[in-house]
Amino acid sequence: MPSARLLARLDALAWVLIYGGLIALVLGIASHGHTAIGGWSLSVLGGIAALAGVVVIVLRSRLPQKPDSKT
């Protein structure tokens, strides 16, 4: 069973990857006119980061959770 701390870290990591990746993707698209190689590189890396965040969410959903014992 994963600890509550690990589950919270996975949640935080997933959202940081998704939002950070989407911001990098948008910045890469916006900078294509000034530097083509840099824009494409930033777009690809941002897309990969966002996709990695989705993968972390899928993996997190497959981990068992502890039942709340505070009831």
pLDDT for res 19: 97
Q: 5-53, pLDDT tens digit by residue?
A: 888 899 999 999 999 999 999 999 999 888 989 999 999 999 999 999 9
Helix (H/G/I), strand (E/B), else coil: 17:
helix
pTM, two decimal places: 0.83
Report the alpha-carbon distance of residue 51 to residue 21 in Å, rounded. 8
pLDDT band at 3 (very low <50, low <70, confident <90, very high): confident
pLDDT for res 9: 93
- 46 touches 27 (CB < 8 A): yes
Is residue 64 over pLDDT 90?
Answer: no
Q: How far is CA 62 from the centre of its chain?
A: 17
